[in-house]
Amino acid sequence: MSRFRILGRSVAAMAIVALFAVAGARADEAPRVVTISAKRFEFAPNQLTLKKGETVTLKVTSEDVKHGFFSRQLHIDADLTPGQTVEVPLTPSAAGTFTIICDHFCGAQHGNMKLTVVVE
């Protein structure tokens, strides 16, 4: 019995260690990275699907001129300088469909430059 008890305790201890190991791995795990390119007059990709509460890093690069990367609802306001990559952390707290726009005027079709974020 005592042998089984000891074994049982060991298994339990191993399980606890394993749990901590998993938790530790999650805490240290880098957020998912989504690469986005900006050029007149589009973002690529122009649609993202994220999970509510999921932290992602948006790596956004302008390929031509100055652009903006803005969403009031998602609390995003970044300036995109050509050739520089900007990292935008995002953890959506609510489900829904949101729009990120270019808010740095970049030409006649500037008003069409947007990225739709669907949060499930």
Partner 1 sequence: MPQPVDRRQFMKIAGTSLGIGALFKVSALASPESAHIQRLLGKKNGEAPTPFSFVQLSDTHVGFEGPPNPLGTKAFERAVEMINSLPEAPELVLFTGDLTHDSEKPGEHADRMRLFRKIAGGLRAPLIHYVPGEHDAALDGGALFRDALGDTSYSFDHRGVHFVALDNVSAGKPRVGPAQLDWLRKDLARFPTTAPIVLFTHRPLFDLRPDWEWFTGDGDQVLEAIAPYENVTVLYGHIHREHVHTEGHATHYAARSLIFAFPDPAAGVPKKPLPFDSDKPFQNLGVRAVTEASGHPQVHEVELTLREYSGTVGIQQILKEGESL
Comparing CB distances to partner 1, the nearer of 20 and 105 is: 105
Residue type (1 letter), 33: V
Structure tokens at 44: 């690529």
Smallest CA-to-CA distance from 34 within 52, 54, 60 is with: 60
Comparing CB distances to partner 1, the nearer of 10 and 73 is: 73
Comparing CB distances to partner 1, the nearer of 61 and 116 is: 116
Q: How far apart are CA 41 and CA 67, in angstroms?
A: 10
Query: What number of other Cβ atoms are within 10 A of residue 62's Cβ?
Result: 24
Cβ 80 vs Cβ 105: under 8 Å: no
Least distance (Å) from partner 1 to the CB of residue 104?
A: 5
* Residue numbers at the binding site for partner 1 (CB under 8 A): 66, 68, 70-73, 77, 79, 98-99, 101, 103-105, 107-108, 110-111, 114
Least distance (Å) from partner 1 to the CB of residue 105?
A: 3
Least distance (Å) from partner 1 to the CB of residue 56?
A: 20
